[in-house]
Amino acid sequence: MLSVRLDDRYVVFVRAKYTFVIRYFCTHSRFQEAFALYVELQTSGFVPSTFSVASALSSWNAMISGYVECGKVGLARNFYNSMPERNSISCITMIGGYSKCGDVESARELFSKMDRKDHLL
């Protein structure tokens, strides 16, 4: 018989709640609130599970994309730098944001730091 402690269920509930609210904020372009909530999750001692991180990646990408669309590439880069795990979407979004703002050098630098470029084609 599977035995799950109440503490374990509480941790799962808290992680799920945070992930849901972060995604809600991102969906409604409330990126600063999403980021603040993520920081709160981290500082309160709740380490995100692999599932939470994977679910949150789309939220992170949405935050980066939102800031890039508003022309706030510096804020987008702060989000990018603090991502627990980066993917090709977040990297391409940042490169596109730099290019859109005319910062070709930063776009080139970020492209050169990418681990895998072959899967972008």
Half-sphere exposure of 55 (CA within 13 A, CB side): 16
pLDDT level of residue 86 (50, 70, 90 thresholds): confident
pTM: 0.60
SS3 per residue for 5-68: CHHHHHHHHHHHHHHHHHHHHHHCCCHHHHHHHHHHHHHCCCCCCHHHHHHHHHHHHHHHHHHH
Read off the pLDDT of residues 105-114 as tens digits, 9 standing for 90 and up: 999 999 998 8
Read off the pLDDT of residues 29-71 as tens digits, 9 standing for 90 and up: 787 787 787 778 778 776 665 555 666 677 778 778 888 888 8
In the chain, % of residues over pLDDT 70: 79
Nearest by Cα to 89 from 68, 55, 62: 62
Q: Judge contact between 109 and 83, C-beta under 8 A.
A: no
